């Protein structure tokens, strides 16, 4: 299926498409660039190999992770999240770390974070690479396996589909807001930011969801990407305040910021967003009940284009390009975002 050109209004999509045009892509790869959260290679025996890599560099540089423990833990969750978004079970991880000054205390903290996330995801570190450099950088490659007839892609959301999230949202934005706005630690701190792997949920959605993507760039960017890729509009009908996890709700209230800002911010939290055909809602309820999970209803896909929240059209092109347009300046980003969503 060719990639819908509507995605190229977004700067990051332009850069990814340019890379894809410059690089060789294997003929056995499932789906085009932009269409899956992890790369899928058909092994020819009824299984797909799922591969994904994610690096924590800008987040460390921006001061979002002060504790190397959080950076190590989050780096693993980020890559495992892309496996869950294609419905894969993890095989293992490769870890590439740049340690400032080969600092053993930083190494130990990163490793504790990596270990905690591995235990939560039921996976292991296969190997990796270590470097010495000026700033902590962590990159995690995750490998997984998914049945060829049960994988998820971002393609397949249709008008009429119901749209859900795997759990409450806004934790990524809350961490970014607490770091960038220097809020008191008792309101929200790094220890409140503990995203969990959603592998069981991704597995439960096999054969049930029509499209799936993770919220690593925030909820509304994820919904906007799915809408653009599939040529539909999405109405978020749930009250934004009802979608926030407790820490994000607490921070929004204390700062007097609109809850929608915590869904629009560029720093996400690794939940899954997925669509369900109306005749598959009962299948979702059964699959979710079987693992003791309650999906969070967000809204409905319809004919057209764009993302509406509470009946109001949001300019997701401006929101998603904002960090690039302000030259990566965090304070200008926060001010600009609040200007767009109304704060």
Interacting residues toward Mg ion by CB under 5 A: 37, 82, 214, 216
Name residue 100's beta-bridge partners: 133
Nearer to Mg ion, 139 or 216 (CB): 216
Do residues 284 and 210 make contact, with C-beta atoms less than 8 angstroms apart? no
Please state the closest distance from residue 254 (CB atom) to Mg ion, in A.
Answer: 30
Please state the closest distance from residue 268 (CB atom) to Mg ion, in A.
Answer: 9
Please state the closest distance from residue 81 (CB atom) to Mg ion, in A.
Answer: 6
Decide: residue 179, CB within 10 A, 0-12 exposed, 13-18 middle, 19+ buried. buried
Q: What is the C-alpha to C-alpha distance for residues 71 and 65, in angstroms, rounded to an integer?
A: 6
Nearer to Mg ion, 154 or 162 (CB): 154
Q: What is the C-alpha to C-alpha distance for residues 258 and 313, in angstroms, rounded to an integer?
A: 16
Nearer to Mg ion, 161 or 214 (CB): 214
Please state the closest distance from residue 109 (CB atom) to Mg ion, in A.
Answer: 26
Longest dimension (CA), the chain: 57
Nearer to Mg ion, 38 or 106 (CB): 38
Q: What is the DSSP letter of 258?
A: -
Please state the closest distance from residue 107 (CB atom) to Mg ion, in A.
Answer: 27
What residue number has its CB nearest to Mg ion? 37
Nearer to Mg ion, 86 or 301 (CB): 86
Q: What is the C-alpha to C-alpha distance for residues 217 and 201, in angstroms, rounded to an integer?
A: 19
Name the strands in the sheet holding 233-236, side by side, starting at the edge strand that comes first in the sequence: 211-214, 272-276, 162-165, 296-302, 233-236, 306-309, 312-314
């Amino acid at each position: 299926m060719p990639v819908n050109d509507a995605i190229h209004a977004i700067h990051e999509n332009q850069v990814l498409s340019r890379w894809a045009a410059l690089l060789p892509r294997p003929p056995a790869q499932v789906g085009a660039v932009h269409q899956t959260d992890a790369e899928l290679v058909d092994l020819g025996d009824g299984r797909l190999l799922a591969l994904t890599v994610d690096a924590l560099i800008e987040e460390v540089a921006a001061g979002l992770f002060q504790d190397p423990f959080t950076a190590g833990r989050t780096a693993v969750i980020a890559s495992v999240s892309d496996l869950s978004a294609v419905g894969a079970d993890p095989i293992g991880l490769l870890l590439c770390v740049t340690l400032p000054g080969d600092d053993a205390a930083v190494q130990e903290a990163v490793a504790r974070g990596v270990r905690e996330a591995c235990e939560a995801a039921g996976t292991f570190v296969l190997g990796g690479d270590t470097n010495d450099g000026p700033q902590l950088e962590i990159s995690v490659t995750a490998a997984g396996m998914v049945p060829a007839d049960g994988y998820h892609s971002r393609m397949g959301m249709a008008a009429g589909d119901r749209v859900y999230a795997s759990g409450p949202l806004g934790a990524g934005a809350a961490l970014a807001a607490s770091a960038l706005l220097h809020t008191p630690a008792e309101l929200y701190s790094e220890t409140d930011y503990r995203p969990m792997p959603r592998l069981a949920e991704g597995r439960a959605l096999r054969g049930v969801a029509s499209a799936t993507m993770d919220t690593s760039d925030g909820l509304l960017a994820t919904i906007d990407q799915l809408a653009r890729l599939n040529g539909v509009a999405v109405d978020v009908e749930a009250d934004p305040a009802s979608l926030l996890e407790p820490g994000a709700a607490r921070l929004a209230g204390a700062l007097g910021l609109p809850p929608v800002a915590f869904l629009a911010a560029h720093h996400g939290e690794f939940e899954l967003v997925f669509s369900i055909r109306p005749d598959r809602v009962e299948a979702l309820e059964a699959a979710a009940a079987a693992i003791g999970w309650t999906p969070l209803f967000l809204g409905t896909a319809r004919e057209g284009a764009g993302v509406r929240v509470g009946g109001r059209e949001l300019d997701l092109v401006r929101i998603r390009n904002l960090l690039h347009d302000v030259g990566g300046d965090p304070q200008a980003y926060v001010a600009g975002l609040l200007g767009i969503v109304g704060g």
